[in-house]
């Protein structure tokens, strides 16, 4: 485990440096690659080889995942445990058949295999529940009655209990005891923190919902968990119209996450085409509120050509200003060195001076609004000292969330404060009344006392 980053040298106003998403573990990546299949292999599973149609198998898989989610809700299990259980269930059906015994693996009902997968996931993710609680929850969800009272000595209770305990070894052998699963939720959370979107509620909800909805499909068998997390991040960018800036080397955000944009778009296309089918098996249409989107699903807008170039991707914010969001444009205006809205301590003094200039006060026979009094001479224009703002020759707007860019903005801010203070001192000196020079009046008769008249 890497040591925590030292932040004692940073001022209180300086945020801690965000940690880049970790590189994929080589061992875990190789283990996960063994459970990644092609679309042709997903269309030729053992159940399909035994005579089950692909549509029926998808419906059964979706019902099994929905059973896991419903039981997990009753047991108040965390989302990571449910995601791991859904992955175990999907992997188990890639090496076992729903039609009968195959290669020594007995036939299990999809509810039974889902219950066993959930039981294993509670152990792996260290969110264990008592065996009695798991069996009661499975009995209630299987009979579609969450408030059903089950006797611990009843036939159904012991049937579920024996099935889970006896089938646990079978699932472990089918899974080759490979129980380490990289959850896309963890990787998505790391990406949200690194790119500064963890407090953007619409963005966070859109990305998290994508990962949760992907559990109802076979996407975990088609893509890696990192690709699913990147696809969820991409989906949130499209839904909330957020653009992520490139890094210092001009690379897009998906290269920083170490994924390929082609794999991300393939995952989005899979969700767009299979989300309605997955929710239809659970009695949901997968559409907007009250069917407001017609026959389109909530992921219908994710249609993106797989061969589209990276330069025209709408989620990428390039430093040359080719695509700038409204929020970033307003920040650029505030941070510009010559902007009228100076972010300095002298702004309040400047506003006070502006209010005084609006008042029609008289100074040396002339009002501040430009009207001269009768009989008064037009004074000369004030020669105000103009101070040029100092700059280090670099643009104040760097890449978002970069420590060097933040330090640069802090330095520019200090320079603007100093220039504002110097400008105010020069203005105060200009507005001070000039004391008249004493003039000695020469009397024709002469004065013994040397009277001095003004």
Distance CA 418, CA 342 (A): 12
Question: Which CATH architecture describes the domain 184-317?
Answer: Orthogonal Bundle (1.10)
Given the DSSP bridges, would you call strands 362-363 and 366-367 parallel, antiparallel or unpaired? Answer: antiparallel
SS3 245: strand
User: Could you tell me the end-to-end alpha-carbon distance of the chain, in angstroms, rounded to an integer?
Assistant: 85
Distance CA 87, CA 89 (A): 5
Name the token pair of 341: 């809205």
Contacts of 415 (CB under 8 A, 6+ apart): 389, 390, 391
**Which pTM value belongs to this model?**
0.61
366, β-bridge pairs: 363, 372
Q: What are phi and psi of 152, to 5 degrees?
A: -65, -15
Contacts of 423 (CB under 8 A, 6+ apart): 346, 387
pLDDT score of 306: 52
Please, is 7 exposed, middle or buried when counting C-beta atoms within 10 Å of its C-beta (0-12, 13-18, 19+)? exposed
Q: Which CATH number fits domain 37-174: 2.40.50.140, 3.40.710.10, 3.40.50.300, 1.10.472.10?
A: 1.10.472.10
pLDDT score of 388: 45
pLDDT score of 412: 81
Name the token pair of 403: 């420590």
Distance CA 308, CA 314 (A): 11
One digit per residue, pLDDT tens: the chain, 454 residues?
444 445 555 555 545 455 555 556 667 777 777 888 989 999 989 999 988 899 899 999 999 999 999 999 999 999 999 999 999 999 999 999 888 888 888 888 999 999 999 999 999 998 889 999 999 999 999 988 888 888 888 888 999 999 999 999 999 999 999 888 888 888 898 888 888 888 889 899 999 999 988 888 899 999 888 999 999 999 898 888 888 888 788 788 888 788 888 889 899 888 888 877 655 555 555 444 334 444 455 665 555 555 555 544 556 565 554 444 333 433 444 344 444 333 334 444 444 444 455 444 444 444 444 444 444 444 444 444 444 444 444 444 444 456 677 777 778 878 877 887 787 777 767 666 655 555 555 545 444 444 444 4
SS3 188: helix
pLDDT score of 252: 85
Do 281 and 63 touch, CB atoms closer than 8 A? Answer: yes
Distance CA 372, CA 377 (A): 8
Distance CA 331, CA 314 (A): 20
Do 238 and 268 touch, CB atoms closer than 8 A? Answer: no
pLDDT score of 11: 54
Can you give the residue ranges of every domain in the chain?
A: 37-174, 184-317, 326-358+384-431
Name the token pair of 306: 């797989």
Distance CA 199, CA 181 (A): 27
Q: How open is the CA angle 379-380-382, to the nearest 5 degrees? A: 115
Q: What are phi and psi of 105, to 5 degrees?
A: -90, 120
Name the token pair of 398: 């760097």
Distance CA 257, CA 223 (A): 15
184-194 and 201-214 are packed helices; what angle lies between their axes, rounded to 10 degrees?
160
Contacts of 449 (CB under 8 A, 6+ apart): none
Contacts of 49 (CB under 8 A, 6+ apart): 97
Examine domains 37-174 and 184-317 and report if their fold is the same. yes
């Amino acid at each position: 485990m890497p040591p925590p980053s030292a932040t004692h040298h940073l001022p209180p106003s300086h945020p801690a440096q965000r940690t880049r998403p970790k590189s994929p573990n080589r061992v875990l990546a190789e283990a996960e690659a063994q459970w990644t299949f092609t679309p042709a292999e997903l269309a030729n599973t053992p159940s399909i080889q035994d005579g089950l149609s692909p549509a029926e198998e998808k419906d059964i898989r979706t019902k099994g995942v929905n059973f896991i989610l419903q039981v997990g809700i009753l047991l108040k299990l965390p989302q990571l445990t449910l995601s791991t259980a859904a992955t175990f269930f999907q992997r188990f059906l890639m090496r076992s058949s729903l039609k009968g015994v195959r290669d020594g693996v007995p036939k299990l009902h999809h509810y039974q295999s889902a219950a066993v997968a959930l039981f294993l996931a509670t152990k792996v993710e260290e969110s264990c529940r008592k065996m009695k609680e798991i069996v009661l929850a499975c009995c209630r969800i299987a009979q579609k009655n969450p408030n059903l009272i089950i006797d611990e000595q009843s036939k159904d209770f012991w049937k579920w209990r024996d099935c889970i305990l006896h089938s646990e070894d079978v699932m472990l052998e089918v899974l080759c005891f490979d129980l380490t699963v990289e959850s896309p939720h963890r990787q998505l959370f790391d990406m949200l923190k690194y790119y500064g979107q963890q407090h953007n509620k619409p963005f966070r909800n859109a990305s998290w919902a994508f990962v949760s909805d992907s559990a109802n499909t076979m996407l975990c068998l088609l893509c890696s968990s990192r690709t699913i997390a990147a696809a969820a991040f991409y989906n949130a960018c499209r839904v909330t119209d957020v653009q992520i800036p490139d890094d210092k080397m001009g690379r897009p955000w998906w290269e920083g996450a170490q994924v390929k944009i082609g794999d991300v778009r393939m995952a989005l296309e899979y969700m767009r085409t299979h989300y309605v089918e997955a929710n239809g098996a659970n009695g949901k249409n997968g559409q907007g509120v009250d069917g407001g989107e017609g026959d389109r699903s909530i992921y219908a807008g994710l249609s993106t050509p797989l061969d589209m170039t990276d330069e025209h991707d709408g989620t990428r914010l390039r430093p040359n200003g080719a695509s700038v969001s409204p929020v970033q444009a307003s920040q650029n205006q505030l941070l510009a060195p010559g902007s009228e809205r100076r972010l300095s301590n002298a702004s309040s003094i400047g506003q006070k001076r502006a209010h005084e200039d609006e008042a029609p006060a008289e100074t040396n026979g002339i009002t501040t609004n430009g009207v001269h009094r009768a009989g008064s001479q037009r004074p000369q224009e004030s020669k105000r000292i103009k101070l040029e703002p100092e700059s280090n020759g670099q643009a104040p707007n760097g890449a978002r969330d970069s420590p060097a860019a933040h330090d640069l903005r802090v330095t520019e801010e200090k320079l603007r404060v100093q220039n504002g203070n110097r400008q105010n001192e020069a203005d105060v000196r200009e507005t001070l009344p000039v004391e008249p020079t004493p003039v000695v009046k020469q009397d024709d008769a002469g004065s013994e006392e040397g009277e001095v008249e003004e």
